[in-house]
Amino acid sequence: MTYWFDVSAAALVVALWIDFVWGEPPARWHPVVWMGRYLDWVAPWFAPQVHGALTFSNQRAFFEGMVFWFVGAVACVCVALALTHVVDVLPFGIAVVIMAIGLKPLFAWTLLFREVQAVELALSDSLEAARARLAWLCSRDVSQLSAAEVRETAIETLAENLNDSVVAPLFWFVMFGLPGAVVYRFSNTADAMWGYNGQRGKHDWRWAGKWAARADDVLSWVPARLTAALLALMAGGVSLRALRREAVKTPSPNSGWPMAAMALALDVHLGKPQVYCLHPDGQSPQKNDTEWALHLSQRVVWVVGLIGFVVIEIAKVQI
């Protein structure tokens, strides 16, 4: 069918509205939860056990990890394509709503906003409460973090997940529709569960999770730099030379970009003890810095939504 507005463009706006109003769907209906269950279920089939009889060569662990990654990704794409084909034959309003409902679980801004805000609120209560709340946000050991380090980690996590949980899935949705967004979300979830350079749980992921980690690096490369550029633009006065210098300090080829942009935008230092320190000349983050970080990130989300809408509409006109 032909519509005045593209269904995908309208669905992007509606999905953002759903996120702001309702947040995440229940876990039993959440596609990312289903992805996680698949990834957890197949892991014992190919990932070498740290202590046990199951042993694989590095090559076999890598190959089988890649195969299981592709099986999951293809299954996700098939579901997304089926939904897209259904939407194509529906009236405009119904098509937009269904597409928006399909897109919404693939990004999570409101949840991220509330969780970072909750860490800051917990800090006003006690350090232990803040550490417990922060543990929901990141996989880092938070048991020994000081109050300043808790705030640093929360702001870092906000910046990193602004890309991973919002900008990147929306970027791939704009580029390739629902299949693009679902592949990115699957890839990012696989990296979170398999992409470890060592032991996690009972398994050795050095080779078994290498494909998942590299796939996520590739798919996050452009969105991470876009997120950093938008943060710098929203803040104003951020030196691109300083941004490039700070961004390469982290082990990840991508997460350093939005985190460095946030550190420079707030003029604070952010880091992981004994691993890296971004913008070391900055001050220690204060409560108002968390508030400003959330404000900047909120601006980025709105701008990404606007840019995405315009790009989809321009592409429709060109086609």
What's the pLDDT tens digit per position in 116-143?
999 999 999 999 999 999 999 988 889 8
Which amino acid, 289? D
What rounded mean pLDDT belongs to the chain? 93
Average pLDDT score over residue span 143-153: 92
Average pLDDT score over residue span 270-274: 88
Residue of 259, 279, 261 lying closest to 269 (CA atoms): 279
Q: First and final CA of the chain: distance in angstroms? A: 14
Only one residue has tokens 């949705």, namely 173
Average pLDDT score over residue span 176-192: 97
Contacts of residue 45, Cβ cutoff 8 Å, sequence gap at least 6: 64, 68
**Beta partners for residue 217, in sequence order:** none
Max Cα distance, the chain (Å): 61
Average pLDDT score over residue span 202-220: 93
Q: Over 60: is that where the pLDDT of 53 sits?
A: no
Cα distances (angstroms) measured from residue 223 to each of 175, 233, 243, 291: 11, 15, 15, 24
Residue of 313, 302, 319 lying closest to 109 (CA atoms): 302
Confidence at residue 54, expressed as pLDDT on a 0 to 100 scale:
53
Confidence at residue 287, expressed as pLDDT on a 0 to 100 scale:
93
Cα angle 39, 43, 49; round to 5: 155
**Are the CB atoms for 48 and 208 separated by under 8 Å?**
yes
Q: Over 90: is that where the pLDDT of 311 sits?
A: yes
Domains of the chain, by residue range, sit at 7-318
CB atoms within 10 A of CB 183: 22
Q: What phi and psi, each to the nearest 5 degrees, are found at residue 106?
A: -90, -5
Average pLDDT score over residue span 86-93: 93
Q: Give the integer Cα–Cα distance in Å for 141 and 298.
A: 27
| DSSP string across 254-285 | TTHHHHHHHHHHHTB-EEETTTEEESTTSBPP
Confidence at residue 55, expressed as pLDDT on a 0 to 100 scale:
57
253 burial type by CB count under 10 A (0-12 exposed, 13-18 middle, 19+ buried) = middle
Q: Over 60: is that where the pLDDT of 148 sits?
A: yes
**Are the CB atoms for 47 and 203 separated by under 8 Å?**
yes
Average pLDDT score over residue span 254-283: 95
Confidence at residue 237, expressed as pLDDT on a 0 to 100 scale:
85
Strands annotated E in the chain: 199-200, 203-204, 270-272, 276-278
Residue of 180, 184, 185 lying closest to 32 (CA atoms): 185
Consecutive H or E run containing 21:
helix 7-22
What's the CA dihedral at 138, 142, 146, 150 to 10 degrees?
A: 10
Average pLDDT score over residue span 44-65: 79
Confidence at residue 3, expressed as pLDDT on a 0 to 100 scale:
54
Q: Give the integer Cα–Cα distance in Å for 5 and 313.
A: 7
What token pair was written down for 81? 């394509």
Question: Among the ranges 131-140, 234-243, 295-304, which has the highest mean pLDDT value?
Answer: 295-304
Q: How many percent of the chain have pLDDT more than 70?
A: 96
Confidence at residue 1, expressed as pLDDT on a 0 to 100 scale:
47
The pLDDT-based confidence of 49 (bands split at 50, 70, 90) is: confident
Average pLDDT score over residue span 241-262: 96
Confidence at residue 201, expressed as pLDDT on a 0 to 100 scale:
74
